[in-house]
Amino acid sequence: MAEAMKELLGRLLDAPGPSGYESAAAAVWREEAGTFAERVWQDVSGNAFAEIGGAGSPTVMLAGHLDEIGLIVHHIDTKGFLWVKPIGGWDPQVLVGQRVDILARDAAVPGVIGRRAVHLLSNEERDKPVKMKDVWIDIGAGSRDAAQKRVRIGDPAVIRSDTLELGDDAVAARSIDNRIGALVALEALRRAGEKGARARIVAVGTTQEEIGARTGGGARTSSYGLEPDAAIVIDVTHATDHPQVDAHEHGEIALGSGPVLGRGAAVNATLFEGLAETADRAGIPYQLQALPASTGTDADGIYMTRSGVATAVVSIPNRYMHTPNQLVDMGDVRHACELISTYLATLTNEGGFESG
């Protein structure tokens, strides 16, 4: 199963899917879900659903967002250069010199991100951080007319990069955030069924998380429709085990030390304790993270849906988030799948998730 899971992850990571344009990644996810789930569907927001135990109780939602950060073409100048705006939170420094795929109507159009060479910058400019307005995409077109035959305003783009396996268990890719969470949601669903879970469990590959801070994105629309009793959100969180990170400010989160259980205002205490006690009994390593207010995940769009949803956050430690080379440890991924599925197998319809 470990190799099968890694193969699925590779297909998910390679599928382009910036916020609002997740269809390719969602198709991979639904195809895999169709090999074991009782029911698979999608909604108008593009969210992908896979269900087991349709007649069971309680209803538990497993949410992992399918979208990644990207770029969107907003202007084509007279010389055929493409000017872009960010989809999600970019550090523009990492864009300089990257190769991209523009997801055009007929086929992906390759391009490179251009900026004036360092030799053409003044001393003052060299010391300033790069801003989005300082870079453009060059597709080798000589004019606006030539460029418009290949791309349109509103076409999205993603970094063109290969998935790398580093060492025995580390994987690096541009779309780790959050195809890794979408993978865990699906694999935990599979394992929960194999363990005889009696709850109704619905895994959801959600959309538009990277741009959903104000709206709640696909997490809000999907949870509103499902009306779950509880939700477990699976996302990535910042690993702090690399140079130049202050643990006093950001906490201690390390690759290979297990999934991270969040604690804070948005996290239901009963659900958290159930996951922590399950991990302790099963000998599954885990780490803790304080989430004092909003979580920065799909949980923010779920936990106050309708009359409220008991919500937990399980995160995978991730180095170099929102870069083309985000890095995770597959041991943490496997432990997250086992923890969530083992907990789900213990649920009955006899108790609720009320805290306090």
Helices (H) and strands (E) in the chain, counts: 10, 17
Instruction: Provide DSSP, 241-308.
Output: -STT--HHHH----TTS--EEEEETTS-HHHHHHHHHHHHHHT---EEEEE-S--SSTHHHHTTSTT-
> CA–CA separation, 65 vs 163, rounded Å?
19
User: Please, are residues 219 and 206 in contact by the beta-carbon 8 Å criterion?
Assistant: yes
Terminal Cα distance for the chain, rounded? 39
Q: Which residues pair with 41 in a beta bridge?
A: 49
Centroid of chain to Cα 169: 19
Residue of 22, 32, 68, 209 marked active site: 209
Question: Any catalytic annotation for residue 209?
Answer: yes
Q: What strands lie across the sheet with 170-173, from one edge to the other?
A: 164-166, 170-173, 326-329
Catalytic residue list: 209
